[in-house]
Amino acid sequence: MSKIMLAPMEGVVDANMRDLLTGVGGIDTCVTEFIRVTSQKLPVHDLLKKVPELARSGATDSGVPVIVQFLGSDPDMLAYHSIEAAKLGAKGIDLNFGCPSKTVNKHRGGAVLLDEPETIYNIIKTVRDQLSADIPLSAKMRLGNKDKTLALENASAIESAGASSLVVHARTKLEGYRAPAHWQWIRKIKDSIAIPVIANGEVWSVYDYHKCREVSGCDDVMIGRGLLADPSLALLIKHSVKVQELSGDGSSTEALEKEAALAHTWHDTLLLLEKYYQRVQMQLPPPYVSGRLKQWLNMMRKHNHNAQDLFDKVKKITDLDELTSLLISEKANAASQR
């Protein structure tokens, strides 16, 4: 069966979020938020702090493997940290050539390197040569920095340097996260290289997933914002694939009815939000806690009217006791409507 990967999202998909989303089901692999590599060696405790799953056999509590992503432009330092992560139990290493952050790009990291295919080749070749052969080495790229001129050249450099697979975010850095994602360009890349290509960008629904696979020609898909908007999306996708295999018609009424029956209720989502909120309280100083909950609700609200209603209620609340009481009340109301 095709695989679904949880995308890395800086400042959002941390170990806490990875654990909660993989616990819902349907996700096959996670990639961590990027770990910035400079000229300084990170101590082991820093790696474990950023990727606590390394202390648990390199997987989330639900057993989903976690790939460690690094970002930088120093080949030897990237190789060093990749080796250290592998020693700690990383299931795989990923190199980031897609981050659009101005700060990151200013320091020659992320998508800006897509203007330098030779540099990308040298980075991956150095890491691959120094990393144990049994550790998969993947890369993630956008279609380019300012345009798509070098898309195929970059993909070829990544393959020839020894990467085992490639995730393609179907937009340039300049296009940011604006729709549409250019899935047809992923097909061009897939047709030009032999290593597996994973499609990424603008998958918000079961329909989007199947359309993305059809247009891109990819078996596997990476999803980020879509899974934050609907934590049950991967589970629904897996169910739809099974229905397709059984009936030959993934858009049948029967399939849609089964998908609807499988979907998480708003009460289930509130349980996730509550658990997330409780964990964040243990991780962050009080002034930052409410912001994290609002951040997730903000990602949900465009696709969930219940999340919109709750966001409207919490957006001006900063007192944690008041926020806790509101969540308890919302959960009780949702439970009574099930």
Task: Looking at the structure, tell me whether residues 221 and 313 fall in a common domain.
Answer: no
Task: Looking at the structure, tell me whether residues 150 and 107 fall in a common domain.
Answer: yes
Evaluate whether residue 254 is within a structural domain.
no
Mean pLDDT of 285-290: 92
Task: Looking at the structure, tell me whether residues 163 and 276 fall in a common domain.
Answer: no
CA 23 to chain centre: 15
Task: Looking at the structure, tell me whether residues 180 and 303 fall in a common domain.
Answer: no
CATH number at residue 183: 3.20.20.70
Evaluate whether residue 129 is within a structural domain.
yes
Which pLDDT does position 253 carry in this prediction?
46
Q: Which domain holds residue 272?
A: 266-336
260 — pLDDT class (breaks 50, 70, 90)? low
Number of domains in the chain: 2
CA-to-CA distance for 313 and 29, rounded, in angstroms? 34
Evaluate whether residue 34 is within a structural domain.
yes
Cβ-based burial of 102 (10 A; exposed 0-12, middle 13-18, buried ≥19): exposed
Task: Looking at the structure, tell me whether residues 202 and 280 fall in a common domain.
Answer: no
Which pLDDT does position 285 carry in this prediction?
93
Question: Over the stretch 174-224, which tens digit does the pLDDT of each residue have?
Answer: 999 999 999 999 999 999 999 999 999 999 999 999 999 999 999 999 999
Nearest alpha carbon to residue 169 among 152, 183, 154, 190: 183
Residue 99 is a catalytic residue: yes
CATH number at residue 300: 1.20.225
Two tokens, residue 247: 């009936």
Expressed in angstroms, the distance from the first to the final Cα of the chain is 32
Cβ-based burial of 99 (10 A; exposed 0-12, middle 13-18, buried ≥19): buried
Catalytic residue (choose from 30, 99, 212, 218): 99
